Amino acid sequence: MTFRSFLYTLCVAALVWTSPLPAAEWYRGNLHMHSFWSDGNVFPEMAVDAYKDLGYHFVVLSDHSHLQLDSQRWIDVEQAKVQTVLKQYYERYGENAAETCEVDGKKQIRLHTVHELKKKLDIPGRFLMIPGLELAPDTNGVTFHGNALNVTETIPVQQGATLAESIDKNALAARKNGEDHGLVSEFMVNHPLWPNYDIDPLSLADAKDTFLFELLCAYGHPRGGPSDRFWNRESLWDIVTAFRIVKGHPLMYSVGSDDTHNYLTFAYNRPGTCWTVVRSEKLEADSIILAMRRGDFYTSCGVEMEDIVFDKTARTLSVKVKPVEGVNYRVQFIGTKRGFDQTAVPFEMEKTDKHPARKGWTFSKEIGIELLSVEGTEASYQLKEDDLYVRAVISSDQRREHQDGFAPETATAWTQPYCP
């Protein structure tokens, strides 16, 4: 571990919170989305405003491989995808919303940079664009995507000898960009189950310098469908959490996002399916990222929380739902006991027409057990002496309106894990 990594580990451990900041508010955001700058199907303004219209407070327009900085990024107007939305674009933003030109007899239109977009779309205290991009440092045949958050430039892809090393190298590179420019920058691992259970829990457990991953990604399901042989969304997190605690690494926190590509037909994913809610002193990028470093946020696909408090002295996690009339709620406290069976039994999944060959591991059912279940909108759990950690899953009987995306059928929320 480098000295910088050591200091970061100490800082994250020290920031485990016991009560919310006095002036903090909940802010809803989407940390993963795309536009014409990569493979989204609308202009960047339209992508961002889709979330502003839904009442979100912040977004990260995380187009692939580059931050939107090129002031000379032109695209062909006659492309079918552009023609599909051009009238709508002009109707909302005006006929002079973007520069156009002709190149070799073809009309082109210029895409706005992230700074132009921020100037145009940010509303102080109400809505914020956080600069970011999605990196794809695939390693040894494994698909690995991750988002750099609140950065000033395109972060060069970093490769390591192992998947865990690649994850950490990219996290450190994103964080260093922030340090070099007086900002708070971070990195998160995207859709670990996509496309073929590529990001395994042992690698996430070993990525000691990384602490954010997408638990809930509307576009992040395995291509071949779920497999009983592999981990699922919940078990992955518990395996990673239990092994990281044993290894002495910081906890890994979960986010929810849409990974939005399609803003038009809603055929496969749509804005507003999964999100992250951060409790921050200010609606500013640094403040949002610092709150996430503290673990002061939750993941949701419909349940809204009024309060989440972990009292470290009393070793108690308390949650309170902001209820919807006529909806019933259940709070499950999930954890793993000390001395759990750490055996990981390897297996090989043969190549088929739906997925490549993959190596997996079977883990003990002692990992990620229900510690307590409570019906209602408020619940607390006091950690026992043999508990490694506790996290809460708050589910409801409110069926989500749109059953698209890789999310539960009913509105649900997840707290972060907490250690005694």
pLDDT digits 0-9 by tens, 262-320 = 999 866 678 999 999 999 999 999 999 999 999 999 999 999 999 999 999 999 999 99
Residue 36 has what pLDDT?
98
Which of 31, 49, 57 is closest to 279 using CA atoms? 57
* Structure token digits, residue 58: 């912040």
Encode the chain in three state secondary structure: CCHHHHHHHHHHHHCCCCCCCCCCEEEEEECCECCCCCCCCCCHHHHHHHHHHCCCCEECCCCECCCCCCCCCEEECCCHHHHHHHHHHHHHHCCCCCCEEEECCEEEEECCCHHHHHHHHCECCCEEECCEEEECCCECCECCCEEEECCCCCCCCCCCCCHHHHHHHHHHHHHHHHHHCCCCCEEEECCCCCCCCCCCHHHHHHCCCCCEEEEEECCCCCCCCCCCCCCCHHHHHHHHHHHHHHHCCCCCEEEEECCECCCCCCCCCCCCCCEEEEEECCCCHHHHHHHHHHCCEEEECCCCEEEEEEECCCCEEEEEECCCCCCCEEEEEEEEECCCCCCEEEEEECCCCCCCCEEEEEECCCCCEEEEEEECCEEEEECCCCEEEEEEEEEEEEECCCCCCCCCCEEEEECCCECC
The CA distance from 1 to 360, in Å, is: 27
- Position 47 in a domain: yes
- Position 31 in a domain: yes
Q: What interhelical angle do 3-14 and 163-180 show, nearest 10? A: 80
Burial of 247 (0-12, 13-18, 19+ CB in 10 A): exposed
Which of 13, 30, 26, 22 is closest to 257 using CA atoms? 30
- Buried residues in 1-33 as b, exposed as e (16+ CB within 10 A): eeeeeeebbeebeeebbeebeeebebbbbbbbb
Domain containing residue 271: 3-414
Count Cα atoms within 13 angstroms, Cβ side, for 181.
Answer: 13
The CA distance from 343 to 308, in Å, is: 33
Residue 118 has what pLDDT?
98
Residue 16 has what pLDDT?
40
- pTM of the predicted structure, to 2 decimals: 0.93
The CA distance from 191 to 123, in Å, is: 30
* Structure token digits, residue 208: 């000691």
Q: What interhelical angle do 44-53 and 80-93 show, nearest 10? A: 60
Which of 59, 21, 64, 70 is closest to 40 using CA atoms? 64
The CA distance from 33 to 408, in Å, is: 20
Task: Compute φ and ψ for 27, nearest 5 degrees.
Answer: -125, 130
- Position 420 in a domain: no
The CA distance from 53 to 42, in Å, is: 15
Asked if omega into 124 is within 30° of 0 (cis), the reply is no
Cβ–Cβ under 8 Å, residues 72 and 108: no
- Position 390 in a domain: yes
- Position 317 in a domain: yes
CATH assignment at residue 268:
3.20.20.140
* Structure token digits, residue 284: 């500013």
Whose tokens are 């009442």? That residue is 55
* Structure token digits, residue 12: 């994250």
The CA distance from 112 to 71, in Å, is: 7
Which of 12, 82, 94, 9 is closest to 44 using CA atoms? 82
Residue 266 has what pLDDT?
67
Residue 3 has what pLDDT?
33
Cβ–Cβ under 8 Å, residues 344 and 202: yes
- Position 419 in a domain: no
Residues of the chain with pLDDT under 70: 1-23, 266-268, 354
- Position 337 in a domain: yes
Residue 268 has what pLDDT?
65
How many domains does the chain fold into?
1
Residue 226 has what pLDDT?
83
Q: What interhelical angle do 114-121 and 44-53 show, nearest 10? A: 40
- Position 27 in a domain: yes
